[in-house]
Amino acid sequence: MADVGNAQREIRKIAYRLWMEEGQPEGRDREHWERAKEIWNFRHRNDEAEVSDRQMEASGGRHAAPKDATPRRQTQ
């Protein structure tokens, strides 16, 4: 997984923002990290499903989306 480093950098930025927003409290780094991971996971929750759908379509899998299906809206 090449994106692990990118994900950790994004999570670190989110955790830092949470820490700053809360007035830079000491001793809550683990809490901020866990909350940041939850936020990151929420933001990226459809990424894996979309990749999986494309892989199924490419392989001719029976779970491939119909050609006339409405595409998923990307959230950021």
**Span 33-46, pLDDT tens digits:** 999 999 999 998 87
Instruction: Tell me the mean pLDDT in the region 55-72.
Output: 46
pLDDT higher at 29 or 69: 29
pLDDT higher at 54 or 45: 45
pLDDT at 29 over 60: yes
- Rounded Cα distance between 39 and 21, Å, is 15
- Rounded Cα distance between 26 and 24, Å, is 7
**Residue 64 pLDDT level (bands cut at 50, 70, 90):** very low
Mean pLDDT score of the chain, rounded to an integer? Answer: 75
